Every structure is written in C-alpha cells, then in structure tokens.
Amino acid sequence: MQKRLSVQGYVEGILSGNRVILSRAITLIESQLSQDKILASQVLESILPFSGKAIRIGITGVPGVGKSTFIEAFGKFLTSQGKKVAVLAIDPSSQKSKGSILGDKTRMEQLAHDPLAYIRPSPAGAFLGGVANRTRETMLICEAAGFDVIIIETVGVGQSETFVRGMVDFFLLLMLAGAGDELQGLKKGIMEMADTIAITKADSDNLPKAKLARAEYENAIHLFPPEESGWYARVMTCSALENAGIAEIWDLVEQHKQLLQKNGFFEKNRQNQNLEWMQNSIQQTLGEHFYNHPKVQERLKNLQKDVISGKILPHHAAFELLSIYIK
C-alpha cells in the first residue's frame, strides 16, 4: 500500500499543480478507511480557501449521445484558449462486482494527452445522480490545483440528476435528433433544469434532423416557467467531429456566468449548493452510522425476512431498527 503523505505534503502538491499528488489526494478522499477520512478532511479544510474560482459545468445526456466525444472536443477548444480543464468522468459501476469500466481516458485520448487537461475517472457506485460519492470534494481539489474549468460528466442512465445540477454553475444537456420518444422521455424531467440543450451529431446526413430537433426543443422550452435568475435556456446544434457549435456553447457558458454574477444569483446559487451539500452529508453519515451499528446489524436480517414474507409492515420494521439505533 502506498504510504500516505502529511497534510502539508498533500496541500503543497495540490497547490503547485503536481498531477501525481493531485491524483493521490483524490484517491485519499475516495477511500473508505477511517484513518484516510480524517486525513482527507484535514487536507480539504486546508485547500478550501484556494478553491471556488473555476467555472463548474455539468454535462449529461441520453445513452449514445456522444458525451465523451463532445467533452473531448469541448475540452480541446478550451485548452486552445489557454484554459486548464479538469474532467471528472463518472463511470457506471457494476452492482454485482462493484467494479466500473473507467474507460474515459481511452475515449478521450487526445484530451488525456493535453498538458492543460486532467481527466479523472471515478466509479459511480450506488450513489444517486450518476455522480461519484466524492465528486464535490474532488472538484474543490482540482480548483485549488489551478484548473479554470471543471467538467463533470455523468453516467446519464436515467438516475436522478438533481445531484449534478446541485453542484455546478452551468448544466448542459446533450440530446440526439430522432432518437425516439422512449429515449427522449428519459430526460424529460431534467430539460427544465438545463441551462442549454445541445443537439449533438449535427453533421452530414443528420444535419437536417438536428435542425428540426432544435426547432422542436425551442418550442418546448418556451412552455417552461422562467428562471428566477433571469436566464432562459438556449437550444444549440453541435458536431464534435466537425468542431461546429463548440465555441458558441462556451460563449453561452460565459454569458450565463456574467448575467448571474451581475444580478447576484451566481454566488447565491453556490451558497445554496453548499447548504444542500451539508444536508446530503448529514443523511449519508447518519445512514453509514445506522447500518454499522452492531445491534442494528444483528436484528436487520431477521426483520428483512419478516418484511419479505409479509409478517411485518416495512414501516414498523424501520421504526424498530431506528429505536434500536437511538437507544
């Protein structure tokens, strides 16, 4: 097992932009070992004053929409502008083996070799929203390491993506033209959360379909209630293969940030996200302590059998376990 650094060692490495120590720090905060959690907390507290300066972008979309291809083109555009880009790519995890594919570095090979880019694949595990358990902390570390843009790529398999929206400044929804109602229906709920909808693969024979889809989505979003921030969602077409529409999408990100900074909603949004993060942390920590309680573990299996067989109501079983935990 690799020897842990001191808090100062991690912090100095992160602030200097050392990629090896950055990766080791992220591994540390993803660790489930109790001693690692304490060390990770100290590192995060130390780098907190140096975080928060990057623009945070969440990118999601239906399966097959080409998220990785788009992110590579988008990231390469940003690095060509001299910006440092960190991509936190969340891979789907197997609920049987708990393993994940972690193939984003191979799917984004050009971006992975860009000196201004950093790609960190992490398994989603059982965490909701298609994001890894420690995505927020990883984001803060990357910001402290000097990255200008943080991109969070979600699994995009129909999980509740409110979690993603709750940790980014700009939420980009990628859609396909002519994918069928069954695919589009997966994302109907998050269309209202999107700051921009981008119709991908708008090239060659698919271009007319993409333009038609853009018109249809523009009509649809006009039915949504206006954002309190004053921003209204845009619909774009883009092609990662032809680099079409990529610069325009970044322009919208900058316009969105300027508007929200001007009217105060940018900072207000981040403050609300921090409060939500605290509430989520409370729920998660309580859950961990509850299921690790020896007497709860002792009674849990029998109560599960009783619930399955219909001998006891699920609510009553839950109340009994909670009573055990509270005592």
Most confident of 41-45, 86-90, 102-106, 179-183: 41-45
Q: What is the mean pLDDT of the chain?
A: 86
- Asked if 59 and 151 touch (Cβ cutoff 8 Å), the reply is yes
> Tokens 């910001």 appear where?
143
pLDDT number for residue 226: 77
> Is the Cα torsion angle 167, 171, 172, 176 positive or negative in sign?
positive
Residues 25 and 73 reside in one and the same domain: no
Tally of CB atoms within 10 A around 227: 14
Q: Which domain holds residue 305?
A: 277-326
CA nearest to 124, candidates 156, 98, 93: 93
In a shared domain, residues 42 and 147: no
* Residue 268: pLDDT over 90: yes
181 and 295 within one domain: no
* 181 and 81 in a common domain: yes
Whether 271 maps to a domain, the answer reads no
Domain identity same for 137 and 284: no
Whether residue 124 is predicted with pLDDT greater than 70 in this model: the reply is no
| Bridge partners for 170 per DSSP | 57
How far, in Å, CA of 32 to CA of 311, rounded?
Answer: 36
Sign of CA dihedral 123, 126, 129, 133: negative
pTM here is 0.88
Q: Looking at residues 132-138, what average pLDDT do you find?
A: 80
- In whole angstroms, what separates CA 125 from the centre of its chain? 13
Q: On the CB side of 256, how many CA atoms lie within 13 Å of its CA?
A: 23
> Do 90 and 172 fall into the same domain?
yes
Tell me the mean pLDDT in the region 14-32: 94
Q: Is residue 185 in some structural domain?
A: yes
- Give percent above pLDDT 90 in the chain: 65
What's the CA gap between 159 and 173, in Å, rounded?
Answer: 14
* Biggest distance spanned by C-alpha atoms of the chain: 67
pLDDT digits (tens, 9 = 90+) for 57-106: 999 887 788 999 999 999 999 999 999 999 998 765 433 434 344 445 55
Q: At 239, phi and psi to the nearest 5?
A: -135, 115
| Residue 221 and residue 295 in one domain | no
Same domain for 285 and 258? no
Q: How many domains does the chain have?
A: 3
How are strands ordered across the β-sheet holding 170-175? 117-123, 85-91, 149-153, 55-61, 170-175, 196-199, 234-237
Does one domain contain both 234 and 302?
no
Distance CA 39, CA 43 (A): 6
Assigned domain for 302 exists: yes
User: How far from the centroid of its chain's Cα atoms is residue 9's Cα?
Assistant: 27
Q: What span, in angstroms and rounded, lies between the C-alpha atoms of 117 and 71?
A: 11
